[in-house]
């Protein structure tokens, strides 16, 4: 059987941690930053670990991990 392909959009958006969890960049940071509180902006820096339901969906797009 041929190899399964990884979704290109998924490999750009998601990453795997060392323990096998799925990490992604924080949402809601595209525009209108001046309206947001400084606390919210601080908390949205970097990446976040997806919850189990969303991680299952992301893993389905990446059969071999990334």
Give domain status of residue 38, yes or no: yes
Structural domain contains residue 2:
no
Q: Is residue 31 part of a domain?
A: yes
**For position 55, which CATH number holds?**
4.10.410.60
pLDDT of 9 > 80? The answer is yes
pTM of the model: 0.78
Residue 1 counted as domain residue: no
Calpha distance 55→24 (Å, rounded):
10
User: What pLDDT is attached to residue 65?
Assistant: 84
- Domain containing 49: what range? 8-61
Tokens 């941690």 map to which residue?
A: 17
For 24-48, write each residue's pLDDT tens digit. 999 989 999 999 999 999 999 999 9
Q: What average pLDDT does the segment 6-15 reach? A: 94
Q: How many structural domains are present in the chain?
A: 1
Distance of CA 23 to the CA centre of its chain: 5
């Amino acid at each position: 059987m041929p190899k399964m392909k990884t979704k290109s959009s998924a490999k750009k958006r998601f990453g795997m941690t060392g323990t096998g969890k799925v990490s992604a960049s924080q949402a809601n940071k595209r525009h209108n930053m001046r309206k947001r509180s400084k606390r919210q902006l601080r908390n949205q820096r970097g990446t976040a670990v997806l919850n189990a339901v969303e991680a299952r969906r992301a893993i389905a797009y990446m059969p071999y991990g990334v």
